[in-house]
């Protein structure tokens, strides 16, 4: 069995995706920042599934990270048939309240590293009998979100890129699936530094990483183009087509302001 490469695999949705794919017999390549968490997660997977599990601690906000990941797999002759671009984070608050360097680092993780990994691995993926690219976007991709402005915009990029790439690859062995979760019980809110009002709102509609991760793997293996996880999030996505932008943006602003 070939390998599935998952970024942001040490916890949350990425970790669940790693477990799910291991249970289906895929060897696992895990990439994230924390070596300690990667080691722990890899040991947990090995205890549950008889697959090969390797990990690499890498900072995906570095411009050189994607090449580092690709070289790591190439030097070890690990054939990748599934690329899961899951790593990502947000910054909550006024756009101008963060140093530019922090915004650019977020864009590197959410967008640029994703593009670099896709570009580097695509020739290899096209040689497989069947291959998948799974990009994790967000329900925020369907509207502007004041006080999460750049994060939401980065997820618009991921969704649009996935749609276009899927069409380009329609006659190849490579399937592209984009999954757009809503609020999920991970440390996203903590790292994004969202306010108390947003935390309380999220608690009412939170999905678990297990729910989202399992739905993502199912959607990918079913070769679906695009999936919004959760009934409430699907409704929210539908409403973005119906309601005026001013209403949607005002509602989002009141949550995150």
Burial of 221 (0-12, 13-18, 19+ CB in 10 A): middle
Give the separation between CA 86 and CA 223, rounded to whole angstroms: 17
Q: pLDDT value at position 90?
A: 94
Whole-angstrom distance, CA of residue 25 vs CA of residue 257: 45
Residue 90: domain span: 3-256
Nearest alpha-carbon partner for 189 in 206, 171, 164: 206
CA–CA dist 135, 30 (Å, integer)? 15
What was the pLDDT predicted at 197?
46
pLDDT of res. 192? 44
CATH number of the domain to which 110 belongs: 3.40.50.720
Q: What is the pLDDT along the chain (257 residues), one digit of tens a residue?
A: 799 999 999 999 999 999 999 999 999 999 999 999 999 999 999 999 999 999 999 999 999 999 999 999 999 999 999 999 999 999 999 999 999 999 999 999 999 999 999 999 999 999 999 999 999 999 999 989 999 999 999 999 999 999 999 999 999 999 999 999 987 655 554 454 554 544 444 444 568 899 999 999 999 999 999 999 865 665 554 455 444 455 555 555 556 56
The pLDDT score that the predictor gives to residue 205 is 55
- Number of domains into which the chain is organized: 1
DSSP-assigned letter for residue 184:
B
Q: Are 81 and 3 in contact (CB under 8 A)?
A: yes
Strand ranges for 24-63 from DSSP E = 27-32, 53-57
pLDDT at 183: 74
105, containing H or E segment: helix 100-107
- By the 10 Å C-beta count (0-12 exposed, 13-18 middle, 19+ buried), 4 is classed as buried
Output the pLDDT for position 186.
53
Closest alpha carbon to 79 in 34, 25, 131, 14? 131
User: For residues 41 and 13, is the Cβ–Cβ distance under 8 A?
Assistant: no
**CA distance readout (Å), 152 to 1, 32, 103:** 36, 22, 12
Position 204 scores a pLDDT of 45
What's the pLDDT score for residue 41?
97
Cα distances (Å, whole numbers) of residue 209 to 14, 19, 62, 124, 213: 8, 12, 26, 29, 6
Q: Which of 3, 26, 151, 256 is catalytic?
A: 151
* Residue found under tokens 């973005």: 240
Q: Is 147 one of the catalytic residues?
A: no
């Amino acid at each position: 069995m070939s390998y599935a490469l998952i970024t942001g695999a040490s916890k949350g949705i990425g970790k669940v995706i790693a477990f799910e794919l291991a249970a289906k017999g895929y060897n696992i390549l895990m990439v994230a920042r924390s070596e300690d968490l990667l080691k722990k997660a890899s040991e947990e997977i090995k205890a549950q599934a008889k697959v090969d599990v390797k990990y690499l601690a890498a900072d995906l906000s570095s411009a050189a990270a994607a090449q580092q990941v690709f070289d790591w797999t190439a030097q070890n002759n690990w054939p990748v048939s599934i690329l899961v671009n899951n790593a990502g984070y947000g910054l909550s608050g006024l756009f101008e309240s963060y140093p530019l360097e922090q915004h650019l680092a977020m864009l590197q993780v959410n967008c640029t590293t994703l593009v670099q990994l896709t570009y580097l691995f695509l020739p290899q993926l096209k040689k497989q009998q069947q291959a998948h690219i799974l990009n994790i976007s967000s329900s925020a991709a369907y509207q502007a979100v004041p006080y999460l402005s750049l994060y939401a915009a980065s997820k618009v990029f991921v969704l649009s890129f996935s749609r276009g790439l899927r069409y380009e690859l329609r006659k190849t062995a490579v399937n592209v699936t984009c999954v757009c979760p809503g609020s999920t019980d991970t440390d996203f809110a903590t790292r994004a530094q969202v306010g108390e009002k947003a935390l309380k709102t999220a608690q009412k509609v939170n999905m678990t990483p297990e729910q989202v991760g399992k739905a993502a793997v199912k959607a990918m293996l079913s070769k679906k183009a695009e999936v919004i996880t959760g009934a409430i999030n699907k409704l929210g996505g539908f409403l973005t087509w119906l309601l005026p932008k001013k209403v949607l943006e005002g509602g989002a602003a009141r949550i995150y302001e």
